[in-house]
Chain A
Amino acid sequence: MVTEALILSGLLFTIGAAGVLIRRNAIVMFMCIELMLNAVNLSFIAISRQVGVSAQLFVIFVMTVAAAEAAVGLAIIISIFRHYSSVDVRNFRLLRW
């Protein structure tokens, strides 16, 4: 049971990572990051039988942080959209030399 759950978690994580790398839309990238987080959550839940309740505790933490992160991240994307009228990350290159 645990093995299957971990495999699923790995698959989801890879899909998320690939999405972050490939997609150019900031919203989609953001959703992919959420997918990766939840893939990790899934693996925590899966191993909680072996390691005890602390794994579940981590899940709660991650969800809280993810919620906060979603709020801040979406706010940033919206303000970027207001500025550029676009959410294509290829246009945002200010953070360089």
Chain B
Amino acid sequence: MSFLNDLYSGPWIVTFLVFFPGIAGLACLFIPRGWLKRFAFSAGLIEFLVSLPMFWTFGIGRIEYQNYVSIPWIPDWGISYAIGVDGISILLFLLTTFLLPISVLVSWEQIDKRERAYYAMLLVLVTGILGVFVALDLFLFYVFWEVMLVPMYFLIGVWGHERRIYAAVKFFLFTAFGSLLMLVAILVLFWLHLDQFGVASMAYPAMLRLDIPGGLEFWLFVAFALAFAIKVPMFPFHTWLPDAHVEAPTAGSVILAAVLLKMGVYGFLRFAIPLFPNAALDPRVVMTMLVLGLIGITYAAWVAAMQPNLKKLIAYTSVAHLGFVMVGTFAFTGTSVAGGVLQMVNHGVSTGALFILAGFLYQRRHTYEIAQYGGLAKVIPVFCFALVLTALASIGLPGLNGFVGEFLILVGSFLRYPWVTLVAATGVIFAAYYMLPMIRRVVWNDLTVEENRSLIDLSRLELAIIVPLLLMMVLMGVYPKPFIDRVAASANWLSERVELTIQADTADDALAAAEVLERSPRTP
């Protein structure tokens, strides 16, 4: 067992996990068609099983990066291959590997054209996402950020529904627009570092030591924040999301909602806030972000309540949920940040499950129109049980996962911004207002549409997909402590240290604080 311990505390396990899906994806191109799905699923399952021990080997209460490795990649430009995980990223990382085999299974019967390219794209996409969550070098981060974009574009554009081209282009342009600004900001940081320390470096910890002039800091923050806000998505940059979700194939929606959006919030927590603390936590900026988060919570809920299309409704609920997360992030107390991270995982599980369930319905009836259903509890009770449970988790019923994250976010935010919390908490009411009518019109009521009489309940394959997600919802609601434990230390530390940087009066103090910020996260 000590071999396993060494392996999982060593640096290379994360590298393996990041690149394994990508390599498997390329290998997909050479696998005989008959073996393709089985190969992709095995790759996903291996990925998940190999990653699973990280949950236990992750050192609780430690704030430094674990499994950290940094080797020069392009030394002339100070670019290194630096990766590591901490409390902010570990759960998101594991969520991604958890959803990979599930996404493959979801696609099993739903994808019937260009399968080879499809599974290759799916696996490469996961490599991009995992890389984003572990990269500790700005250049490396940017590469992964863009690597993720391309497969997603094709997943929507090739395997999507009717308006897939429009949705794919919209998705691509929105994201590219944000990320190009971010690239410019990264280059500015690079030159600043060269200027101030005389050394070329792209390393994230090194950037934390920069002394950035006030005005410039603000604009750099804006450039980063825009890229991340589009990804989250925050109001008013959210309109790509419903289109992308509605048109994407089910697995695409699952990945999109469950992990892709989290990259935005993760970007705020990892980069935008610690790199530019004075700009990010300027009261006016914070208020702006909080208000946008609040608008996301309420406004998206109102819009969701009106949607006739099941997938679009779920997409807008994502905007509302991420609004909660943004409020938690910018309230920036340890509890609210931890709640935000936890809520991202919760949202990944429950919204992912909602999309999967919507996909099951689509496969049977080839429509997402809510009006086309009703009274399904009579014909497909198991499906309806899963749908109701997932919907309840999504609207934050205590005892299921959604509540814990929401509760921590709001408890933490209240300490600093009671009025913001007051408005945010109304989201609890609106959540019931959009979700329950949908449930009523799909699950309850009388069977009025004839075609629904002959629906078949969930198959074994479908049960294998949805049951792990349902179990996760219950587990994370009833016993969330292990999950909170893994986030808590890093979240607390992050909020405290960044506060320290801001409070520092003199430049020396600021540098000292920044050094703490920089040094601690390295491996001892």
CB–CB under 8 A between A and B in the complex? no
- Enumerate chain A interface residues (CB-CB to B < 8 A): none
